[in-house]
Amino acid sequence: MGNNLLEIRNLKKTFPIRRQKLGLFGQREQMLAVDNLSFTIKEGETYGLVGESGCGKSTTGRMLVGVEKPNSGSILYEGKDLSTLNDREFFPLRKELQMVFQNTLSALNPRQRIGSILEDILKVHGVSDARDRRDQVVDVLEKVGLSEYHYFRYPYELSGGQVQRLGIASALVIKPRLIICDEPVSALDVSIQAQVLNTLIALQQDLRLSLLFISHDIGVIRYISDRIGVMYLGTLVEEAETDELFKNPMHPYTKALFASVPDLYICKETVPEFNGERPVRTDTFKGCAFCTRCPYAMSICAEKTPEFLERSSGHQVACHLYDSME
């Protein structure tokens, strides 16, 4: 792997959830969708971000491409802090940072042919020659497993797998360096998932792409990722290289995730059942994010937020159970 391409430092994002009883114009209570999130993505690496629905994965991806603005923290792309840029300053970097959305079809104009959709992206980024635009579009369609035939089709004429390939093509057509893939295969059959994932892996190797792959599917994350971050309630609870994480999961939440998967090749141990609803995390929330549901919770877990520390080589965990290892 190369040097760090993207570095996330102490990223925080809140959303209002309800009004407090402070009158008609009272301030809204804020939910911490992403809280103190830090990780890096290296050149040519696939970083997997896994966690249950609503943990802040998609919000993180949207902040990296400028769709959402963080409340605080830094998004350093080759040393430049993207979180401080306005839309005009961010525009030149959109060629290098692209996103594949979960529901690609909803992002496409149903009245526009596929060739025209992809050519419009090139027009926006300054490719003025019509023949050059068409050649680039046909080339990227072939790279993702489509063909010149699809240049003249409409998005609704494609199958689910072909639509996701088109989503990848729309991200690739301007030759980015980093692609954020937000649940790109979650709605597909298993066989089609494998085809799309293999396409992404081949493209990454050929083009030296870096990927942030967001998913709640542990099997998919394991297949495609070099390193994995496990996310819960807006924060990372564990991070390690893929083989190390599946061989030696340390955080109780990671163990619970693995225990829920019917896969004989995942290292599992008997995890006591955890009950209760996932809490809403606000600024008044104290302690470990997982402490309200953790079967191993101690008194310190409700009082002090655990530090995200390296417990073994390249393996970081935020859990008071391992404080004695320091």
Of 262, 267, 264, whose CA–CA distance to 243 is shortest? 267
> Three-state DSSP class for 89?
helix
Report CA-CA distances (Å) from 309 to 6, 45, 208, 279, 316.
20, 22, 30, 24, 5
Could you tell me the two tokens for 124?
């926006």
90 and 159 assigned to the same domain: no
For residue 299, tell me if it sits in a domain: no
Among 243, 270, 297, the domain boundary falls at 270
Kindly state whether residue 300 falls inside one of the protein's structural domains.
no
Rounded Cα distance, 223 and 210, in Å: 16
The residues near 191 (Cβ < 8 Å, ≥ 6 apart) are none
Lowest-pLDDT choice from 7-21, 126-140, 232-246: 7-21
3-12, 70-79, 266-275: least confidently modelled range:
266-275
Task: Say how far apart CA 39 and CA 167 lie, in whole Å.
Answer: 26
Segment 73-99, tens digit of pLDDT: 999 998 899 999 998 899 889 889 999
Domain-located, residue 318: no
- Secondary structure of residue 283 in the 3-state scheme: coil
Q: Do 202 and 161 have their domain in common?
A: no
Taking only the tens place, the pLDDT of each residue in 283-301 is 888 889 898 888 888 999 9
Report the distance separating Cα 167 and Cα 49, nearest Å.
Answer: 20
Domain that holds residue 170: 105-175
Q: What is the pLDDT of residue 60?
A: 95
CATH code for the domain of 198: 3.40.50.300
Domain co-membership, 144 together with 20: no
Mean pLDDT of 260-281: 68
Q: Where are the alpha helices (DSSP H) in the chain?
A: 57-64, 87-90, 114-124, 130-143, 160-172, 190-207, 218-224, 242-247, 252-259
The 10s digit of each residue's pLDDT in 157-193 is 998 889 989 999 999 999 999 999 998 888 788 888 8
Average pLDDT over residues 266-289: 75
Q: Is the pLDDT of residue 153 over 60?
A: yes
Q: Is the pLDDT of residue 105 over 90?
A: no
Can you give the pLDDT at residue 278?
80
Last residue of a domain, one of 175, 201, 228: 175
Instruction: Give tens-digit pLDDT for 36-63.
Output: 999 999 999 999 999 988 899 999 999 9
pLDDT at 324 over 80: no
* 141 and 241 together in one domain: no
Q: What is the mean pLDDT of residues 224-237?
A: 95
Q: What is the pLDDT of residue 180?
A: 95
Residues 181 and 255 placed together within one structural domain of the fold: yes
Composition of the chain by helix, strand, coil, percent to 5: 35, 25, 40
Q: Which residue has the tokens 């009272």?
A: 26
Structural domain count, the chain: 2
Q: Within a domain: residue 293?
A: no
Residue 92 and residue 182 share a domain: yes
Statement to judge: residues 207 and 73 lie in one domain: yes
Identify whether residues 240 and 126 lie together within a single domain. no
In a domain, 125, yes or no: yes
Which has more pLDDT, 269 or 144?
Answer: 144
Residue 128 in domain: yes
Chain centroid to Cα 234, Å, comes to 12
Q: Is the pLDDT reported for residue 101 higher than 80?
A: yes
- Whether 140 and 251 map to the same domain: the answer is no
Instruction: Name the residue among 57, 80, 77, 60 with its Cα closest to residue 68.
Output: 60
- What pLDDT was estimated at residue 271? 63
Same domain, 111 and 91: no
Last residue of a domain, one of 175, 200, 217: 175
Same domain, 196 and 82: yes
Does 277 fall in a domain? no
Residue 66 lies in a domain: yes
135 and 265 share a domain?
no
